[in-house]
Each structure stands twice: as structure tokens, then as C-alpha cells.
A and B are shown apart, each in its own frame.
Chain A
Amino acid sequence: MENYIVRIYRRDSADPNKVAGVFESVEQETENTFTSLNSLVELLATECPDQESVED
């Protein structure tokens, strides 16, 4: 399991993509900021470790 903390400090009511916040990776003990939902997704993708393929 991966644990992250996302704190959102500002939202733009006119533009839902505009959010400012902090993204913390608990295991890595890193902290990054983001200013849009897109950049938040990018941070999450960057932190995501290589997925092992799961076969049935």
C-alpha cells in the first residue's frame, strides 16, 4: 500500500483545474507542491512504483 497526504489550500471556483496544494509521500518522506489537478496527477504518476503484472 502507498500512503500519500494531499492538502488543498486554494481552489478556483471558476476553473476546477486550478488548485494549489501540497502532496506528501509518506514512505518517501517527500513533499511537493502542485498548482493544478494535472500537476497533482503528474506527481502521483511520478511517485508510483513500477507495477508488477498480475496474472490470474
Chain B
Amino acid sequence: MSYLVPARYYLVILRGVILKGSGLANYPDQVGFLAPMRCSCSD
């Protein structure tokens, strides 16, 4: 079930940006999961 929760993917990005200094481009899978949700909201 946790694979469906956006927080799981957000935390990976958050730790990467804060601790590793990487950008969103380094996490295409995680961003890709969050972005379709954003698009479907406008339907």
C-alpha cells in the first residue's frame, strides 16, 4: 500500500536534495510518480 502514498517518494527526493545536494532531475522515478497525480487533479 505504501507504494501508492506520495510521501514515500517525496522523502527520497527530500533526503537527496537536503543531504546529497542533488536536484529533482536526479530523481525521475519519484518525480514521475508525483507529477501524474498533479495532472490528474485538474481533470
Our verdict on whether A and B bind, yes or no, reads no
Residues of B participating in the A interface, judged by any CB pair closer than 8 Å: none
